[in-house]
Amino acid sequence: MQLLIEAGNTYVKVAQLFESGKFELLGRYPRRKLEMVLEPLLEKGIHRIVFASVGPVEVDNSIQRIAQLANIPVMQVKTLRKDFGVKNAYSEYQYLGVDRWLTLVAIRQKFKKPTVIIDIGTALTFDVLAEDGKHLGGWIAPGYQLMMQSVLENTCKVFSDREHGECITFSDNTADGLKNGCRAALIGLSNTV
């Protein structure tokens, strides 16, 4: 069994890949919980850890260290210039986030059609893939939480609450106004492509 880890800017996602090809998502965890989550898992017959990270280097080091202590080989996946039928649009190819690269590769494997990938995580990313596997570039914008946070941190009287729905109606109160406004911005951006 292999352990697959994707370290993002908000969460670290952990999954198991069995010999049969079956895949099971174990969960997503805040970065600070990584060691606590990984250590018990490594006692379960893991023969390799494969990870990709767009987080701080401390997370990469922490995964390497935990694997080393448990004597398990570890492989860090990096962004490539060209492989798996995808050609990276970046002239300095290594600067394209590995999460974006892996999504391009996965989409190419599955569809082989012109595709716009919209990924709403900490950041909102767009990546355009042509039919022949050529990556035509993309956009990076703030995700929902980041968008709200930037307004909250730079105003005195705007506030929010913990409820999150799917509404984009015009609002008659501050919290809904902010949440609906940020959702509408994400939708508007997505509709521009």
CB-side neighbour CA atoms (13 Å) of 32: 0
**Looking at 52, 63, 105, 123, which residue binds ligand PAU (CB under 6 A)?**
123
Residues in region 135-174 near ligand PAU by CB under 6 A: 140
Q: Which long-range contacts (CB under 8 A, 24 or more apart) does 164-167 make?
A: none
> In the chain, which residue ranges form alpha helices assigned H by DSSP?
34-41, 57-69, 98-111, 144-153, 174-192
Contacting range for ligand ATP; rule: CB under 6 A; set: 8-16, 35-43, 61-69, 78-86: 8-16
Q: Quick check: 76 binds ligand ATP (CB under 6 A)?
A: no
> At closest approach, how far in Å is the CB of 32 from ligand PAU?
19
Burial status of residue 125 (CB atoms within 10 A of its CB: 0-12, 13-18, 19 or more): buried
> At closest approach, how far in Å is the CB of 79 from ligand PAU?
8
Residue 125 binding: pick among ligand ATP, ligand PAU, none (C-beta 5-8 Å cut-off by kind) = ligand PAU
Burial status of residue 80 (CB atoms within 10 A of its CB: 0-12, 13-18, 19 or more): middle
Residue 127 binding: pick among ligand PAU, ligand ATP, none (C-beta 5-8 Å cut-off by kind) = none
Choose between 10 and 115: whose C-beta lies nearer to ligand ATP.
10
Choose between 27 and 114: whose C-beta lies nearer to ligand ATP.
27
Q: Do the Cβ atoms of 26 and 15 come closer than 8 Å?
A: yes
